[in-house]
């Protein structure tokens, strides 16, 4: 009340300036604060979506990699033509060495007898020693096994440190070796933990790392098992655990500041005291054995994630303050002119009251001043709306650029760069869709697995460039012979898969035989005549899974290899 009383004693021009200026100031602040919150939410959604995409890509690559390595161990263990002559033969040693040379992240491959004694291994390491107490051996006696990361024990002193100077850590893969239904040994693979670091680094280019984007892996107990090399020692010293807000998913966790509206990203304070925009995903294991319970986490410091949004907010606030100053100047001028008119009117009235015969009431122009004030307000509002529109266009442009980048990344992630056909990821997505259509419509569907005969000999004799050219020519031949509805993909080094909708096993076998003939008739200018082998499998029923169908096609392919190559074998 005292403030209102003092304001009532002030001049009209001061009252107009204070009231009008205060109103504009409050309006500008409210608009700036509201826009700031909307922009931060939009930025958290868009940047969070990008982080989720990176985490999900890591999830897919890790899950597929674990499955591939598990299957590689199973394939090696199922090489009965090698193991039936003994587990310690030179052919067995050559098989292990050759497979290890194909993958730089295979640190050790060995074969142990049922009593745990190592009979054969790459580099001759651990031969004669017992692995009876190792979990991979115990589990591998009964079934296919995938073991979580652990420090090297028996091999610690036999292998050099990693490229980052860290002690060796392994992922274990094992499978029983059976001959005529009897377990005669266990095949074990120690995969280097650096494989996971390589996968994560491939998903975060240098430009993303410069913006603070990082990927982590936590195990089933929430313990940190992989961090970027620059962060590893610091976070290990702090015993970094999976933040409770991410582990529980609760929005009321003490270290969770805010969450996106879709609940998939959150701003979380980590143990280093810094707040990060964080996205998580659980490892989508392809098999029960490879379900290690990992949590993949992608994060970015909020200072970098919201850098552009904060700049736009500061720009908006500065424009608002500039508009407030201009409005105050206009209000002062309008109040001055209106006060002058009122003073003139008061003077004229006083002269009339005094009896001055020549006194008169002058024409007032306050309505014109009011219109000028309205025009000033309209101009100020127009400037604020223009600034807001410019900011919205900037956000939409950034969003379109991000969407285009994500689409380009998706295309790259599903296409084989060497041959131009689909890779395993792209093929899996198409196979799920076509398999669902075949189930719903009760139509036949077949798969042809193809493999270049003696491809290693081609690489060894003519070089990898010639081998790559053979793969490109084969892919071109497959695409040329394929129908519009067929799906051609490269799923391994020299292995291709053709998915044939609306085609039974007999038809698929005919197509495969034609493909073999076309390839055999071609003459490569460097390699000469190249042949391929093919395995055919058809969908047995609506309950059959994609992996089972592919396994049967692979089994038919391996039978074609065993029976002499350059032929087609089929499973009904």
Cβ(53)–Cβ(151) under 8 Å?
no
CATH, residue 557: 3.30.70.270
Indicate whether 301 belongs to any domain. Answer: no
**Residue 160: per-residue pLDDT:** 82
Distance (Å, whole) CA 255 – CA 435: 44
Name the phi and psi angles at 504, rounded to 5: -85, 180
Per-residue tokens: 478: 């497959």
**Residue that has been written with the tokens 């409050």 in this structure:** 26
Query: Which of residues 127, 161, 196 is at a domain's end?
Result: 196
Three-state DSSP string of 441-477: HCCCEEEEEEEECCHHHHHHHHCHHHHHHHHHHHHHH
Q: Which of 196, 229, 244 is the last residue of a domain?
A: 196
Q: Give the per-residue pLDDT at 384.
A: 46
pTM comes to 0.51
Distance CA 39, CA 394 (A): 11
Query: Is the separation of the CB atoms in 174 and 137 below 8 Å?
Result: yes
Tokens representing 226 are: 């992989």
Residue 538 in domain: yes
* Domain annotation covers residue 116: yes
Rounded CA separation 569/555 (Å): 9
Q: Coil, strand or helix: which one is 174?
A: strand
Q: Closest Cα to residue 105, out of 201, 170, 165?
A: 170
First to last CA, the chain: 94
Asked whether the beta carbons of 338 and 16 are under 8 A apart, the reply is: yes
Q: What are phi and psi of 415, to 5 degrees?
A: -120, 140
Q: What per-residue confidence (pLDDT) applies to 254?
A: 40
Is residue 468 within 8 A of residue 418, CB to CB? The reply is yes
The pLDDT value recorded for residue 194 is: 92
Helical spans, DSSP H, in 354-463: 366-414, 424-441, 455-462
Distant-in-sequence, close-in-space partners of 432: CB < 8 Å, separation ≥ 6: 546
CATH value at residue 179: 3.30.450.20
CA-nearest of 89, 66, 92 to 79 is 92
Please give the tally of structural domains in the chain. 2
Single out the residue of 254, 247, 257, 237 nearest to residue 305, CA to CA. Answer: 257
- The gap from C-alpha 104 to its chain's centroid, in whole angstroms, comes to 24
Q: What DSSP character marks residue 242?
A: -
Nearest to 13 by CA among 374, 364, 336: 336
Cα separation, 509 vs 18, whole angstroms: 89
Largest CA distance in the chain: 136
- Taking Cα atoms as reference points, which of 166, 167, 174 lies closest to residue 190? 174
User: Which residues are catalytic, by number?
Assistant: 494
pLDDT (tens digit, 9 = 90+) per residue, 248-288?
554 444 444 544 434 467 888 888 888 888 999 999 999 99
pLDDT of res. 255: 46
Contact of 414 with 423, CB cutoff 8 Å:
yes
* Cβ atoms 153, 82 nearer than 8 A: no
Which pLDDT value is given to residue 363? 66
Spatial separation of the C-alpha atoms in residues 290 and 144, rounded to whole Å: 9
> Which residues are CB-neighbours of 438 under 8 A, at least 6 positions away?
444, 445, 501, 539
Domain end (from 196, 211, 237) = 196
Asked if residue 566 belongs to a domain, the reply is yes
Does residue 405 fall inside a structural domain? no
Q: Find the domain containing 155 and state its range.
A: 78-196
Q: At 297, list the tokens.
A: 């986490």
Does any domain span residue 561? yes
Note whether 555 and 571 are within 8 A (CB): yes
DSSP three-state, residue 172: strand
Q: Are 131 and 154 in contact (CB under 8 A)?
A: yes
Measured N-to-C along each axis, helices 194-203 and 12-77 cross at an angle, to the nearest 10 degrees, of 140
pLDDT of residue 193: 92
Residue 36 is assigned to a structural domain of this protein: no
**pLDDT beneath 70: ranges in the chain:** 1-21, 24-25, 28-44, 164-165, 230-238, 245-264, 308-310, 312-314, 331, 334-343, 345-346, 348-349, 352-353, 355-361, 363-389, 391, 394-395, 399, 402, 404-412
171 located within any domain: yes
Full strand arrangement of the beta sheet holding 532-538: 487-490, 495-501, 445-452, 532-538, 568-571
Q: Which residues face 533 on adjacent strands?
A: 451
């Amino acid at each position: 009340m005292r403030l209102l009383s003092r304001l009532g004693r002030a001049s009209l021009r001061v009252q107009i300036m204070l009231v009008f200026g205060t109103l504009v100031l409050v309006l500008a602040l409210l608009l700036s604060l509201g826009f700031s919150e909307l922009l931060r939410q939009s930025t958290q959604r868009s940047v969070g979506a990008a982080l989720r995409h990176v985490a999900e890509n890591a999830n897919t690559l890790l899950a597929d990699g674990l499955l591939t390595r598990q299957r590689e161990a199973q394939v090696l263990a199922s090489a009965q033509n090698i193991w039936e002559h003994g587990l310690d033969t030179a052919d067995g040693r050559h098989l292990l060495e050759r497979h290890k040379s194909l993958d730089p992240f295979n640190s050790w491959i060995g074969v142990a007898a049922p009593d745990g004694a190592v009979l054969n291994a790459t580099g001759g390491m651990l031969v004669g020693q017992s692995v009876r107490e190792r979990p991979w051996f115990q589990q591998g006696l009964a079934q296919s096994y995938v073991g979580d990361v652990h420090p090297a024990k028996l091999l610690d002193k036999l292998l050099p440190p990693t490229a980052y100077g860290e002690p060796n850590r392994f992922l274990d893969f094992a499978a029983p070796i059976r001959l005529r239904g009897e377990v005669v040994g266990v095949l074990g693979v120690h995969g280097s933990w650096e494989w996971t670091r390589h996968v994560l680094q491939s998903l975060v280019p240098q430009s993303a790392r410069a913006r603070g984007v990082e990927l982590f892996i936590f195990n089933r107990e929430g313990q940190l098992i992989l961090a970027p090399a620059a962060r590893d020692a610091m976070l290990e010293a702090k015993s970094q655990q999976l933040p409770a807000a991410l582990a529980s998913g609760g929005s009321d966790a003490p270290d969770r500041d805010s969450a996106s509206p879709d609940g998939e990203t959150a701003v979380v304070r980590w143990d280093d005291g810094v707040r990060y925009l964080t996205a998580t995903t659980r490892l989508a294991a392809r098999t029960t054995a490879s379900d290690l319970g990992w949590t993949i986490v992608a994060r970015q410091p909020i200072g970098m994630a919201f850098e552009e949004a904060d700049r736009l907010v500061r720009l908006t606030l500065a424009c608002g303050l500039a508009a407030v100053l201009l409005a105050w100047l206009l209000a002062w001028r309008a109040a001055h002119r209106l006060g002058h008119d009122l003073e003139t009117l008061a003077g004229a009235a006083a002269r009339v009251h005094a009896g001055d015969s020549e006194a008169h009431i002058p024409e007032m122009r306050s309505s014109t001043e009011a219109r000028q004030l309205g025009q000033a307000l309209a101009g100020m509002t127009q400037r604020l709306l223009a600034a807001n529109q410019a900011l919205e266009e900037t956000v939409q442009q950034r969003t379109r650029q991000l969407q285009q980048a994500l689409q380009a990344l998706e295309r790259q992630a599903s296409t084989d760069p060497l041959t131009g056909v689909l890779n395993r990821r792209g093929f899996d997505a198409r196979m799920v869709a076509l398999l669902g259509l075949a189930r719903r419509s009760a139509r036949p569907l077949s798969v042809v697995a193809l493999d270049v005969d003696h491809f290693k000999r081609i690489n060894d004799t003519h070089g990898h460039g010639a081998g790559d050219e053979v793969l490109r020519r084969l892919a071109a031949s497959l695409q040329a012979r394929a129908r519009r509805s067929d799906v051609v993909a490269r799923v391994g080094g020299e292995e291709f898969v053709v998915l044939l909708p609306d085609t039974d096993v007999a038809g698929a076998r005919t197509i495969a035989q034609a493909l073999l003939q076309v390839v055999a008739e071609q003459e490569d200018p460097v390699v000469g005549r190249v042949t391929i082998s093919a395995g055919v499998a058809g969908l047995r029923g609506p309950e059959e899974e994609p992996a089972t169908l592919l396994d049967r096609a692979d089994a038919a392919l391996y039978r074609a290899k065993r029976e002499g190559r350059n032929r087609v074998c089929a499973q009904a």
